[in-house]
A and B are shown apart, each in its own frame.
Chain A
Amino acid sequence: MKPMSIIETKNIHKVYQETKVPVNALNGIDLKIEEGEFTAIVGPSGSGKTTLLNIIGGLDLPTQGDIIINNTNIKEFSSSQLIDFRLHNIGFVFQAYNLIPVLTAKENIEFVMVLQKRPKAEREEKAKELMEAVGLIDKMDHKPGQLSGGQQQRVAVARALASQPRFIIADEPTANLDSKSTNELLEIMAEMNRKYKTTFIFATHDQRVMDKAHRIVTIDDGKVVSDEQFNR
């Protein structure tokens, strides 16, 4: 049976009007991403990777075109609906980790589940399970400042998984990491992809990420210029 498409972009355009000269960041992106994919979106700087990821992640809306997630056109959503949609459907991993510095690793993971109003016992069990999965069970009570960059990013992955999202968006997640940390992080993500069938969508320049990806979508000047599948 063909896997279900969980994300579909239809003729997505995005024009930034912030300067006197409008900037066309996306120029008609048509893309389908299916459940369980481990996809890298690659392209040179300014090609529109982050813009596309923001639109897929419901952080930004397209100027034109539709973005269908789970058969729902999120372009029609109000900002409140979008926030709620993100909370229950999308996980985020950012380049700069973006953990909450005053909370411990465990509390950072629990935070999203608190927003989802999940019971305390369930939150604690899930946080423990995810910390175990990312190999940081002994760092549960450490604050981000007490963790290395690689460890922080692993906590960020655990946090992204905590909300049990339909897919995870990772924008340059390895950009600030050394090789060892990058490999460890990618292994964890690949394991999560295998174990939980979690869909991962990366925006990256990193060859090591591309080497792990099952599909590489290359965009340039806001258009898809190639879309390759790999059996890994």
Chain B
Amino acid sequence: MLAALAWKNLWRNKLRSAVIILAIAIGIIGGIVSDGLMSGMTDQRVNAAIANEVSDIQIQNPKFLLNNEIQYTLPKNLHLVQKIRAYPEVKGVSARLDCQAMATSASAGSGIVAYGVEPSEEVQVSDIHNHIIQGSYLNDKQRIPAVVGKKLAKKLNLELNDRIIITLADTSGTITSGAFQIVGIYKTSNDRFDASAVFVRKKDLAALLDVSTATTHQLAIRLKDNNQTDLVVKKIHHDFQQLIDQKVITVRSWHQIAPLLQSMIAMMNMFSYIFMMVILVALAFGIVNTMMMAIMERTREIGMLMALGLNKRKTFTLIMLETIFLSLVGALVGLIISLFIAHHYATYGIDLSSVGKGMNSIGYSAIVYFRVNTEFYFTTIFMVIIIAIISAISPARKALKLQPASAIRDNNL
């Protein structure tokens, strides 16, 4: 009956309760929408980075990682590629050549990373072919083709079918260069990547380097679900422990390849919680005020309840329940509205290009699709309950200090 009484007491002063419920709801909406936006941005950034730039897992020669010297290749071990490709979690494996190079056009030059890829393998691993804005992706019919980012094309003043000269050092250290024809221009949400990554066919780059097409610097592995990254890394470790122990290969997940992404996720999560906590702490003052007023208005009634035999524990519980109900109603209203907003923007996205110029330059898409973060919702409810309990302490203590005789007399006579 205490819970029923607390619930009914909540609606005695409907306007006052509605005001604080609305305040809590708006606060929760603010926190959750902000989390949805930030999580969405982070997810898109991470997914784009995995899809376009780093893939889920990379296998390289550990020495290659130290200074990117092209002689440090992976063993020509077909068994490695075949076995990993056979993992059920794996979507595709691309055996790439990965060379630091200089690209020059008729008017300018720029440092680039040239990726020599087998187009049929690469489309299983990278989404670059879906980001072609002019021309087409690499195929076998073209003559020494290259696909460049829009940013690089602009920098080098390149257009479709123009030629660029890629200059690099071959395995013997001799500077060599070759002409490639621009067959496609891509654009991702990361301008810096677009300004540096150039994709060419593996056989063309191998010819330029004077190595066989079986030569590989990097096995880029893309998974069907990037939540399984750690699991697949463990599997590779298990199956190729000897190669790893002998320092022939090193296996890195995207967390290790791009630690900034990982720390960005952690930072965004923490920021969301801090932001929500700040909102809730501010709301706590409103809740305390509302409950204090409720106690002061009901001094006589609480005195009467204590006179009848409502003990201190139950009095405390009553005030606590009222505060928790008040806060939870606000939180639930806020959550329901937030869910609609988050689902809407998760489906249709929000276009921030008008307010966030240059989002691409820092690797973010201008259209952000919210993430509906159910874990955050549950945590929010939990935080609301904790805040409600803390907020209830002061009003409940005030109620407990009432002396029934004077509480009844104060308002009675």
- Chain A residues engaging chain B, CB cutoff 8 angstroms: 50, 54, 57, 59-60, 79-80, 83-84, 86-88, 92, 94-96, 98, 100-103, 107, 110-112, 114-116, 159, 163
Contacts and interface: CB of A to CB of B under 8 A. Distances in A.
Given A54-B405, A98-B408, A101-B12, A84 B312 contact: no
A171 B11 CA distance: 30
Contact of B310 (A60, A83, A88, A110): A83
A176 to B, nearest CB: 10
Nearest to A95: B412
A59 to B, nearest CB: 4
A87 B308 contact: yes
A79 B409 CA distance: 19
Contacts of B304: 92, 94, 98
A102 B8 contact: yes
Contacts of B88: none
Given A54-B405, A114-B1, A98 B300 contact: yes
Interface in B284-332: 300-301, 304-312, 314
> Which 6 A-B residue pairings sit nearest by Cβ, starting from the closest?
A87-B309, A102-B8, A59-B405, A98-B304, A60-B405, A54-B405
Given A100-B5, A103-B5, A115-B314, A57 B307 contact: yes
A59 B307 CA distance: 7
A112 B307 contact: no
B404 interface: yes
B1 A83 contact: no
8 contacts: A83-B309, A98-B301, A98-B304, A98-B412, A101-B301, A102-B8, A111-B1, A115-B314
B9 interface: yes
Nearest to B6: A102
A142 B403 CA distance: 30
A40 B270 CA distance: 69
B312 to A, nearest CB: 7
Contacts of B409: 50
A143 to B, nearest CB: 10
Contacts of B314: 115
B309 A84 contact: yes
B312 A83 contact: yes
Contacts of B8: 102-103
- Report whether over half of chain B's contact residues are helix, strand or loop; otherwise say mixed: helix
Contact of A102 (B12, B308, B403): B12
Contacts of A111: 1, 5, 308
Interface in B155-179: none
Given A87-B309, A112-B309, 20 more contacts: A57-B307, A59-B408, A60-B403, A79-B312, A83-B310, A83-B311, A84-B309, A84-B311, A87-B311, A88-B309, A94-B304, A95-B412, A96-B300, A96-B412, A98-B408, A103-B8, A111-B5, A115-B308, A115-B314, A116-B309
A115 B310 contact: yes
Contacts of A79: 312
A84 B314 CA distance: 12
Nearest to A159: B308
Contacts of A87: 308-309, 311
Nearest to B10: A102
Contacts of A115: 308-310, 314
A86 B308 contact: yes
A92 B307 contact: yes
Interface string B120-156: 0000000000000000000000000000000000000
Contacts of A92: 304, 307-308
A147 to B, nearest CB: 16
Contacts of B403: 59-60
Contacts of A83: 306, 309-312
A153 B311 CA distance: 24
A68 B404 CA distance: 20
Contacts of B309: 83-84, 86-88, 112, 115-116, 163
Given A102-B12, A111-B1, A94 B311 contact: no
Nearest to A51: B405
A83 B259 CA distance: 62
Contact of B308 (A50, A101, A107, A112): A112
A101 B9 CA distance: 9
A167 B278 CA distance: 54
Contacts of A114: 1
B213 to A, nearest CB: 82
B9 A102 contact: yes
Nearest to B306: A83
Contacts of A103: 5, 8
B312 A80 contact: yes
A209 B45 CA distance: 83
Contacts of A163: 308-309
A95 B409 CA distance: 10
Contacts of A101: 12, 301
Interface in B365-384: none
Interface string B1-39: 100010011011000000000000000000000000000
Given A102-B5, A102-B9, A114-B1, A94 B308 contact: no
Nearest to A113: B1
B409 to A, nearest CB: 7
Interface string B376-413: 00000000000000000000000000011100110111
A59 B404 contact: yes
